Chain A
Amino acid sequence: MTLNLSPNIADPDGFYDELLAAHEGLDKAASDALNARLILILCNHIGDREVLRDALAAASKT
């Protein structure tokens, strides 16, 4: 499997909304904790170490 960096989420605006909504009302620490849990849950779902390594590399490039 290779890391998919093409559009893959249906209704991107709706998803983005949900992502922000999950953080609403949280202070910085609680928001950071939510992000960390979310990253761990998604990483586990992906599972493939190659893909995860590529994702880390893609995210590290700014």
Chain B
Amino acid sequence: MVDVRYDIAFRLYPYERVQTQGAARQRVPVVIVGGGPIGMAAALDLGRKGTPVLVLDDHEGVGQGSRAICFAKRTLEIADRLGAARAMVDKGVVWNVGKVFHGADQVFEFNLQPEPGHEMPAFINLQQPYFEKFLVDEIRVAQKEGAPIDIRGRNAVTGITRHADHVVLDVGTPDGPYQIAADWVIACDGARSPIRDMMGLSFDGRVFEDNFLIADVKMTAEFPTERWFWFEPPFKNSGQSALLHKQPDDIWRIDFQLGWDIDRKAELDPARVRERVDAMLGAGADYELEWTSIYTFQCRRMKKFRHGRVLFAGDSAHQVSPFGARGANSGVQDADNLAWKLDLVIKGLAPDTLLDSYSAERVHGADENILNSTRATDFLTPKSETSMTFRNAVLDLARRHAFARPMVNSGRLSVPCVYDGMPLNGPDALGGPAATRVGAPCLDAPLDRGFLLNRLTGHFTVLSINASAPDIAEVDGVPVAHVTLTTDRNDPTGALAQRYLGTQPQAVYLIRPDQHVTARWPGCDTRAVTEAVRQAIGKAA
């Protein structure tokens, strides 16, 4: 059933004729355009909160190719809140060790072994089709439990008309076109977003003049589960850099940086790809080519991610180079940020201006990702003779001296964005650890039973540690949950105290539905919580 050959996609939502087709135009609260990882994460999140959501995808399942392969801890934590992480972690390859080579020589080795006391690993490697499939599998579970999620395959959006209080979409299907009206549209339709084009919105940034060849090969070689990266690789015709990285199912991702002036068609000739791979793996290596592709990349973003009733998320809103695994990972954070806000707006519990904060916070995240990704690219492909001289000096020194190793940049792996200084933030009155400051995503910590993040289930939550919890169950109809802990009873490893108290004896945190800290105090009353919740849902005076 599950075929690991990339040229066969998972057919997860076969086309079915829409019942209302030909009848009066249906109106729904939310249409998500695009059933990729971001669209499906948003659908699952909204559906689990009880908000009806319709996903329109122009295909019948998960697209071809491994594409995104590296999923970071924060992404897995979000997937875990949505119920889909277990399958991902079980299937994924956990890795910690990376080796950096310059020519034939190893420059240094690093270990990303995360600090202990987190339920999710720092990263897993997993082909994007599996990531998407596990989300859809979980959507099927949620549907059985009553979550109002509808997915329509081979329903392609061909037109969009915006009105003051709704949006009308033209949809093409094998049985002809129909129209549907939506109060809100989330455009998760990828880097070439047709919705963005139809709305005539710009997508500006920087194009990098380079081509990368991806070859996914299947082999049962005895390479260790490590990330190997070469600057100026020693094997024949391998270009300026190369990467070898393991995925599940005995698949290895190989990247070659080919430069700008290349003949794409000739380079994708399997015989030519095999020549390069043979040179890298050594003569006589036994492998099958599973999937190949050549990509160029850009770093760019839309000016804002909200345009009235149309919200852009994932690659449609921002695009980065692949170094550092910031594409899919940041897109999932978009979905995480947007779903609870849109849910509150649709339920009439928050003003629609709350959605402006989605744009502000995720533009901030996108800029951080673009900055990191651009810096990595400048290290990988020095743009001048002098930058090449410095790049090679860093690599040279890194072999002998520890100080130069942090400067070696083959992609900084995705870390979650902190919403510093954003309008939804409340008071940071604790004097607590910087890592859990207002705006930061909560760090996980082992409790006496389970992990902390398991307890933060998508509601506003008051987390009280060694402090009496303010007696409050809702603010203006928005539910407020409670997690009340003491370090004596609930903190077997001391991680909770270290991550949430620091030098303080006690603390009260207010945590948003997306597990970001929105206020914290040494102790607080119901009025403080009320004000901070109002601030966090865009109701600040």
Contacts and interface: CB of A to CB of B under 8 A. Distances in A.
Contacts of B389: 29, 32-33, 36
A37 B393 CA distance: 5
Given A32-B389, A37-B396, A40-B397, 10 more contacts: A33-B389, A33-B393, A33-B396, A36-B389, A36-B392, A37-B393, A39-B390, A40-B393, A40-B404, A41-B397
Interface in A12-43: 29, 32-33, 36-37, 39-41
A40 B407 CA distance: 10
B105 to A, nearest CB: 16
A2 B389 CA distance: 29
24 contacts: A29-B389, A32-B386, A32-B389, A33-B389, A33-B393, A36-B389, A36-B390, A36-B392, A36-B393, A37-B393, A37-B396, A37-B397, A39-B390, A39-B393, A40-B390, A40-B393, A40-B394, A40-B404, A40-B407, A41-B397, A41-B401, A41-B403, A44-B403, A44-B404
A36 B390 CA distance: 6
A44 B397 CA distance: 12
A29 B404 CA distance: 20
Nearest to B401: A41
B256 to A, nearest CB: 26
Contacts of A41: 397, 401, 403
Interface residues of A, number: 9
Nearest to A45: B403
Contacts of A33: 389, 392-393, 396
Interface string B395-418: 011000101100100000000000
A44 B394 CA distance: 12
Contacts, number: 27
Contacts of B401: 41
A36 B389 CA distance: 7
The residue in B386, B390, B396, B401 that gathers the most chain A C-beta atoms within 10 A of its C-beta is B390
A37 B396 CA distance: 8
A28 B139 CA distance: 62
For the complex of A and B, the 9 pairs showing the least CB-CB separation, nearest first, are A36-B393, A44-B403, A37-B393, A36-B389, A32-B389, A36-B390, A40-B393, A37-B397, A33-B389
Nearest to B406: A44
A13 B526 CA distance: 72
Nearest to A44: B403
B72 to A, nearest CB: 28
A39 B403 CA distance: 13
Nearest to A38: B393
Contacts of A32: 386, 389
B122 to A, nearest CB: 27
Contacts of B403: 41, 44
Contacts of A29: 389
Nearest to A36: B393
A40 B394 CA distance: 8
Interface string B365-401: 0000000000000000000001001101110110001
Contacts of B392: 33, 36
The residue in A29, A37, A41 that gathers the most chain B C-beta atoms within 10 A of its C-beta is A37
A21 B403 CA distance: 26
Contacts of A44: 403-404
A36 B388 CA distance: 10
Interface in B185-229: none
Nearest to A34: B393
B409 to A, nearest CB: 14
Contacts of B407: 40
A33 B385 CA distance: 11
A15 to B, nearest CB: 22
Interface in B250-303: none
A41 B394 CA distance: 10
A39 B392 CA distance: 13
Contacts of A36: 389-390, 392-393
Nearest to B403: A44
Nearest to B390: A36
B405 to A, nearest CB: 11
Nearest to B396: A37
A33 B389 CA distance: 6
Contacts of B404: 40, 44
